Amino acid sequence: MDTLSDSFTIQVNGTPIAKAEPDAEDRLQATTGPDAAVFTLKDGRLQSGDRLLARATREDRSFLPKPVRWFKIGAEGDKLPVHPVTAHKEGSSYKIKFANAGLIAEDGNVLADLAGETPSEVVVKMV
């Protein structure tokens, strides 16, 4: 599904995805940290405040993990160059997918694992 009715946080291996600072640059690499971002998912757009969390549509073509970035929402609006995000219900929680790739964290950076070879515990907590 591409829409969830409630707000939620996302944890990767027990640590939440951190908010982007209000004055942070556009397309900033997402990280994990103690100050959890609160998200909404609507029409394939994962939003927290005035930013989207997504994978860019233009990436290198390798199967290495891809950066998950914060994109500022501005005049471009729906035309931001990002892949859609989906949620799949699994038991009492949801799996979040970034263009069919799950999330991993390496050295505090949030990445999309295209190959699916690095299992991470990703928890979506409704708030």
pLDDT score for 76: 58
| Cα(112)–Cα(26) distance, integer angstroms | 19
pLDDT tier at 125, thresholds 50, 70, 90:
confident
| Cα(28)–Cα(89) distance, integer angstroms | 28
Instruction: Quote the tokens at residue 104.
Output: 């991993």
Strand order in the sheet with 66-67: 66-67, 109-113, 102-106
28 in Cβ contact with 72 (< 8 Å): no
Instruction: Quote the tokens at residue 83.
Output: 């892949």
Q: Which residue did the predictor score with more confidence, 58 or 79?
A: 58
| Cα(21)–Cα(95) distance, integer angstroms | 25
| Cα(55)–Cα(5) distance, integer angstroms | 22
Print the SS3 string covering 35-46: CECCEEEECCEE
CATH numbers and ranges of domains, the chain: 8-126 (2.80.10.50)
pLDDT tier at 77, thresholds 50, 70, 90:
low
Instruction: Quote the tokens at residue 106.
Output: 């390496």
